[in-house]
């Protein structure tokens, strides 16, 4: 089987065994973008608490959030951890949103991906994974999100190697898959689910893993 056939087959295996993931959780593109920053190296359960705090204060709105002093924002997102750095990163993102889109995140959809992506990456605190998460899950751009789960899973299946670069790993998927936002969306979600529940950091639970047939 070719590399891209394998990657397509892995998707089918995960999807048929786990079902749809309904990603990204979040009611609006802005909520998704904020969630993408909050979940950097952080358990989603903790992010949910931070988002609940923001919602309770009617702050899941770009203008309202931008009017809030940084220290108060930090306090509200405290459950998500790294709350001081993340408050600064969200503020950086809000500055960007104001300048580039007059606080209207969705308006950025009119811009081509190849022009928008470098601008998003120019925001201090938004690295490749966070940028791609916002572009794919909040704005429906066809850019594939990879992460530590993806790297580990692919390495363990002999389809990658330890320490692979973000863009190289991303290219493996984008070269193998048709350009399809819904597919990119679901594939990354399935990888995260498999990464959390089977392809764990220490010892993988390969015996019961949906991807067991793909081990060498």
Query: What is the binding site for DNA (CB under 7 A)?
Result: 23-25, 36, 39-46, 49, 78-86, 124-131, 133, 147-149, 166, 192, 195-196, 200-202
The tokens for 131 are: 């940028």
Which tokens go with 155? 């390495």
| CB of 10 or CB of 130, closer to DNA | 130
Sequential DSSP letters for 91-151 = HHHHHHHHHHHTT-GGGGGGS-HHHHHHHHHTSTT--HHHHHHIIIIIT--------HHHH
CA angle 205, 211, 216 (to 5 degrees): 90
Q: How far is the CB of 51 from DNA (least distance, A)?
A: 11
Rounded least distance, CB 125 to DNA, Å? 5
Using DSSP, state whether 160 is helix, strand or coil: coil
Nearer to DNA, 85 or 215 (CB): 85
Residue with smaller CB distance to DNA, 106 or 200: 200
- To the nearest whole angstrom, how small is the minimum distance from the Cβ of residue 203 to DNA? 9
Nearer to DNA (CB atom), residue 63 or residue 196: 196
Task: Tell the smallest beta-carbon distance from residue 20 to DNA (Å).
Answer: 13
């Amino acid at each position: 089987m070719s590399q891209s056939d394998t990657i397509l087959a892995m998707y089918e295996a995960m999807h048929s065994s786990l079902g749809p993931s309904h990603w990204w959780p979040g009611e609006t593109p802005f909520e998704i973008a904020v969630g993408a920053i909050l979940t950097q190296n952080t358990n989603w359960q903790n992010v949910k608490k931070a988002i609940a705090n923001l919602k309770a204060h009617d702050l899941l709105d770009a203008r309202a959030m931008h009017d809030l002093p940084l220290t108060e924002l930090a306090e509200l997102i405290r459950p998500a951890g790294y709350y001081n750095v993340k408050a600064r990163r969200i503020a950086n993102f809000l500055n960007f949103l104001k300048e580039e889109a007059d606080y209207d995140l969705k308006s950025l959809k009119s811009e081509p991906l190849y022009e928008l992506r470098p601008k998003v990456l120019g925001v201090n605190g938004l690295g490749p994974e966070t940028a791609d998460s916002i572009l794919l899950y909040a704005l429906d751009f066809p850019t594939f999100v990879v992460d530590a789960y993806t790297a580990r899973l692919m390495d363990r299946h002999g389809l990658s190697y330890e320490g692979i670069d973000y863009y190289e790993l991303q290219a493996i998927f984008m070269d193998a898959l048709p350009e399809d936002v819904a597919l990119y969306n679901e594939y990354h979600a399935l990888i995260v689910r498999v990464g959390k529940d089977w392809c764990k950091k220490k010892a993988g639970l390969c015996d019961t893993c949906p991807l067991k047939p793909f081990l060498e």
